[in-house]
Amino acid sequence: MTGIEADAREFTEKIDLLLDERESMAMMKLSEQSLSTFLGGEPDLHTIRDVRVVYR
């Protein structure tokens, strides 16, 4: 394998990693948005009184 082929392979691997990370971030954002709508209508299971330490 020549130097150019090795560089191209390394570049391709880095691009693949970046695309995977971007895809994961997009899925997390979509999940966050869709779950916020779903969970927004649900009653809270805990109150402030349930918390052991309240930070101000």
Per-residue pLDDT of the chain (56 residues; tens, 9 = 90+): 789 999 999 999 999 999 999 999 999 999 988 888 777 777 777 777 777 776 76
The domain tally of the chain equals 1
Q: Which residues of 4-26 are buried (b: 16+ CB within 10 A; e: fewer)?
A: eeeeeeeeeeeeeeeeeeeeeee
Per the structure block, which two tokens stand in for 50?
Answer: 């349930």
**Per the domain annotation, does 23 fall within a domain?**
yes
Residue corresponding to tokens 């994961």: 24
**Per the domain annotation, does 9 fall within a domain?**
yes
Q: What is the pTM of this model?
A: 0.55
Q: Where in the sequence is the domain holding 34, given as residue range(s)?
A: 3-50
**Per the domain annotation, does 55 fall within a domain?**
no
**Per the domain annotation, does 56 fall within a domain?**
no
Degrees, nearest 5: CA angle 52-39-32: 95
What is the C-alpha separation between 3 and 56, in angstroms, rounded? 58
For 44, half-sphere exposure in the C-beta direction (CA atoms, 13 angstrom radius) is 5
**Per the domain annotation, does 33 fall within a domain?**
yes
